[in-house]
Amino acid sequence: MVIASILIVLYITWSFRSVPKPASSLRFGICAIIALIHDALVVIGIFSILGHFLGVQIDSLFVTALLTIIGFSVHDTIVVFDRIRENLIKTGSSNFANVVNESILQTLVRSLRTSLTVILVLVALLLFGGESIRWFVVALLIGITSGTYSSIFNAAPLLVLWQELLDRKQ
């Protein structure tokens, strides 16, 4: 996981190298990893509780669900970050918080629609699928919901908070 996280940070840093100041492409990568860790920990935490009270066991399907959640989380976060980058290039970097807010508003409907589509399919699988995939689907439901939340309400605000802390130091 550490190697994968480092590679993700490097990839996002390289992909977002054209981000104008005051933003830094490295901060985009680190904030994406923080959101990813949040999503993984939410699922792991809930499944720890389910394991304690309901006897749910971690198996290869859980690991598969966790990897899927991580991929979805990074993808959704990158969509939001890409809009931030586009808006920074288009409008300049006069007020970073406003640019991030506008970018979130522009991607909010898209993110919610994508997640809702996945959630509807997962609910159908939960209701009509077999016992063998029940906890796999539950893990995906928790992770997709958490991933959507963290892409919009964790990753992007972390960028703003980081920038504001840097601005205060100067």
Structure tokens at 70: 């991580």
Average pLDDT over residues 4-15: 91
pLDDT, residue 20, reads 78
Q: What is the pLDDT of residue 22?
A: 62
Quick one: pLDDT at residue 93? Answer: 67
Question: In this structure, how many other beta carbons lie within 10 angstroms of the beta carbon of residue 80?
Answer: 25
Number of domains in the chain: 1
Helix (H) or strand (E) holding 23: none
Classified as helix, coil or strand, 152 is helix
- Residue 145: predicted pLDDT: 96
pTM reported for the whole predicted model:
0.91
pLDDT in tens, 97-106: 999 999 999 9
Q: CATH code at 142?
A: 1.20.1640.10
Q: Is 58 helix (H, G, I), strand (E, B) or coil?
A: coil
Numbers of helices and strands, H then E, in the chain:
6, 0
Residue 146: pLDDT over 70: yes
- Cα gap 6→111, rounded to integer Å: 25
Domain that holds residue 133: 2-16+23-169
How far does CA 63 lie from the centroid of its chain? Answer: 18
The model's confidence at residue 35, banded by pLDDT at 50, 70 and 90, is: very high
CB proximity list for 159: less than 8 A, separation 6 or greater: 23, 27, 28, 31, 81, 84, 96, 100
What DSSP string describes 110-142? HHHHHHHHHHHHHHHHHHHS-GGGHHHHHHHHH
Q: pLDDT tens digits for 36-92?
A: 999 999 999 999 999 999 999 999 999 999 999 999 999 999 999 999 999 998 987
